[in-house]
Amino acid sequence: MPLVSVCIPTYNRKDYLKETLDSVFAQTYKDYEVVVVDDGSTDGTQEMIKNSNYGVRYCRAKHIGQQAVRNKLIELAESKYITFLDSDDLLFPDTLERLMKVIDSYGDDVFVYGPYIAIDEHGNELKRKQHKLPTGYITPELFEFIYVHSCGTLCTKKILEDVGGFDSSLKRCGVYKLLLKLSLKYKFIPVESPVYKKRRHSGNVSNRLFANCKTEFDVLEDFYFNGGGREIIPQRRAMKRLSKEGYRAGRCAIRQGLYEQACQFLSQSFQRYPNAKSLIHWIRAMIAKQLYQLNILS
């Protein structure tokens, strides 16, 4: 069996997927397999794979959702180590080689990760601030900021299975929830230089919808109070982060005319970590809510 499984979830990204696969098969490290799970694409992805010379194991699912697809990839992977790659992103030629060098240095009980370079739909590099990556048991840092993503990572299949894989009930933030759980048990070791290119395009830009903001807030809140975060993360740091996400959710709710929810999140944001922005927008939401109710009554 190859030592590494490159696991690629995809849905209606035939053209980007071809570039992604080209970047995988250009690796200097050769001891790997490629597994693709297609979540019911209707753009000819299956035919492209079938008619190509790519040596991939391909599985077609029936639109089961992102997290369930990732769990299927874990199930199908036959190698000791797993790395994920989104079907619109690209590896550098030496990515697998650099990730495996960390494993060789630190052993199997670590989670390896690295930063990315942002590119547009044409492959042009976009400006992006690079952050200093934390190392070791990084739960407090990861709670405060999403340093780690699904791509540009490497760990044993066993580690992912031991924490139960991805939460398939979540449409988004499933990766973040899993990473927070992993951070309680395993050391995270960074590769300092970028290990992949993350493509920004209209098909993957997250809308700042209240539902999306609320999901991220719920994941953080549940992890802190129920998932073991409370024992690790200093209370003041946790409340500041929850206040920030509550503020973002409240702002999104105002934009969508969800004034009741906006008042709730902004009030809680201020209570957890008093700040002028939450207070000002809570007042704004209260006024908007009252005007909306007056218009209904009139």
What pLDDT, in 10s, does the model give residues 50-105?
999 899 999 999 999 999 999 999 999 999 999 999 999 999 999 999 999 999 99
**Domain boundary residue among 199, 233, 265?**
199
pLDDT at residue 129, as a whole number = 84
- Average pLDDT of span 226-248: 98
In a domain, 270, yes or no: yes
182 and 225 belong to one structural domain: no
pLDDT at residue 101, as a whole number = 98
- Average pLDDT of span 142-169: 96
**Domain boundary residue among 169, 199, 229?**
199
H or E element, residue 175 = helix 174-183
pLDDT at residue 211, as a whole number = 94
Q: What is the CATH classification number for the domain harbouring 263?
A: 1.25.40
Instruction: Summarize pLDDT for 185-209 with one digit per residue, the tens.
Output: 999 999 999 999 999 887 665 667 9
Is pLDDT at 169 greater than 90 in this prediction?
yes
Nearest to 291 by CA among 259, 265, 252, 250: 259
128 and 151 belong to one structural domain: yes
The whole-chain average pLDDT of the chain stands at 95
137 and 262 belong to one structural domain: no
pLDDT at residue 204, as a whole number = 63
In a domain, 205, yes or no: no
- Average pLDDT of span 181-186: 98
Token look-up 């639109």 returns 63
Using 50, 70 and 90 to split pLDDT, how confident is the model at 138? very high
195 and 236 belong to one structural domain: no
Count the domains in the chain.
2
pLDDT at residue 53, as a whole number = 87
pLDDT at residue 201, as a whole number = 80
**Domain boundary residue among 199, 232, 261?**
199
- Average pLDDT of span 9-13: 96
Instruction: Say if CB 186 and CB 111 are below 8 A apart.
Output: yes
pLDDT at residue 295, as a whole number = 84
In a domain, 204, yes or no: no
227 and 178 belong to one structural domain: no
d(CA 165, CA 63): 18
Q: What residue type is assigned to position 201 of the chain? A: H
Is pLDDT at 297 greater than 80 in this prediction?
no
Mapped onto helix, strand or coil, the DSSP state of residue 40 is coil
Nearest to 88 by CA among 228, 202, 174, 182: 202
**Residues near 249 by Cβ (< 8 Å), separated by ≥ 6?**
210, 213, 214, 217, 261, 265
Which residue range forms the structural domain that includes residue 293?
210-297
* Percent with pLDDT over 70 in the chain: 98
Instruction: Say if CB 266 and CB 278 are below 8 A apart.
Output: yes
Looking at the DSSP assignment, which residues form a beta bridge with residue 32? 4
Nearest to 253 by CA among 202, 293, 288, 297: 288
Is pLDDT at 30 greater than 90 in this prediction?
yes
How remote is the C-alpha of 33 from its chain's centroid?
A: 23
